Amino acid sequence: MSIQRLFLQAIAITALGTAVARGADEVQTASLLFTTENDLYANMFNYKNHDRHYTQGLKIMYLASERDFTRTCSNLNICLPKLGIDQETCNIGFAFGQNMYTPIDKASYAPVLNDQPYAGWLYGSFIFQRRGITLKDIPTLDSYEIDLGVVGPASIANVTQSQWHRWIHSDIPNGWENQLKNEPGIVLKYARYWRLTPNEDVGRFFDIVPHLGADLGNIRIDANIGGVLRLGYNLPQDFGITTIEGTAPYNAPVSKEKGRWFSCHVFVGGEGRAIARDIFLDGNSFADSLSVNKKPFVGDFIWGAGILLFQFLDVSFTGVIRSDRFERQPGGGDAFGCLTIKGIFPI
């Protein structure tokens, strides 16, 4: 956890400066995002580390502009506590996704013990985001998300993976008959993000984006803390990126200011999670299924880069190196990559 401590120290130092909120000439427009995660992206030169544990995720998300669904946003804004945030704008979004998990040994037809159980998660999401400022005019984002879906054969993860392997002429996993049983799932997610930088001029080249969050549901119960440090040119006035499992902060206003048509940056960060439940390791809630002894604390090291062209096309790649998620995890910790392509609708 030394990475997290270093980032928290950096956050404290940066917070002594003056943060800058969104300018009056900026508008939160609608955006469409396509995110794919795969351990292949992080292990292209090590075939033995493909298709193990969390092996694939796909998420398609639409975030409406601040001018859409205004009545829904207003009602949610009244119902949800502001927690010290002075609101500037809010918007809602919708998403659809699928995750899949497999053990390392995919050749066996028999149950694979003491390793990640086969599992799939198919879900839809509703997202509400509220953007504003808190003390010392620090730009802040609250992100609420509810995921509803199903675990088990109904998630069609076995069909997706098997068909994909046929297309790429790879070995088809044989153990999907041993996956978790069908179970409806729900996850309530909340996260708060801050964007810290000494002043507006420096903010175009450097900032720190810390966050706190929690998940609650039969799929996952955890609390998390983390952050990223970003360096680049014309940094986007957003709150960074996140993995599929995180609460989506893909929220950035489009600036009318000339000269902002190009942006690029690199980032490095970390996240720690305290985990009370993870259905993909603990097994089904009420049915007998394979399971392993999960670890209560998991850490991620995060790195990556992003580029924004003409304010309407945003592409980012995130690499994640994850510590062991369960006891006696075969092969040790895992790594995967996250590719996000974001199309931003014009003002």
Report for 15-19, 27-31, 248-252, 267-271: range of highest mean pLDDT:
267-271
**Mean pLDDT along residues 181-209:** 94
312-346 pLDDT, tens digit per residue, is: 889 999 999 999 999 999 888 899 999 999 998 87
Q: Report CA 173 to chain centroid distance, whole Å.
A: 27
Q: Tens digits of per-residue pLDDT, 174-190? A: 999 999 999 999 999 99
pLDDT at 243 exceeding the cut of 90: no
Residue of 255 and 301 predicted with greater confidence: 301
Do the Cβ atoms of 335 and 319 come closer than 8 Å? yes
Half-sphere CA count of 46, side-chain side, radius 13 A: 10
pLDDT for 253 equals 57
Among the listed residues 194, 337, 346, 251, the one whose alpha carbon sits nearest the alpha carbon of residue 33: 251
Position 327 scores a pLDDT of 94
Q: Taking 90 as the threshold, does the pLDDT of residue 347 lie above it?
A: no
Residues 6+ apart with CB under 8 A from 321: 42, 300, 301, 333, 334, 335
% of the chain at pLDDT higher than 90 = 57
User: What CA–CA distances, in Å, run from 16 to 8, 9, 137?
Assistant: 13, 12, 12
Domains of the chain: 2-344 (2.40.128.140)
21 has pLDDT over 60: no
| pLDDT of amino acid 28 | 75
pLDDT at 13: 43
**What mean pLDDT comes out for the span 221-235?**
95
Q: What share of the chain is helix, strand, coil (3-state, %, to 5)?
A: 15, 45, 35
CA dihedral 327, 331, 334, 336 (to 10 degrees): -150
Average pLDDT estimate for 268-295: 96
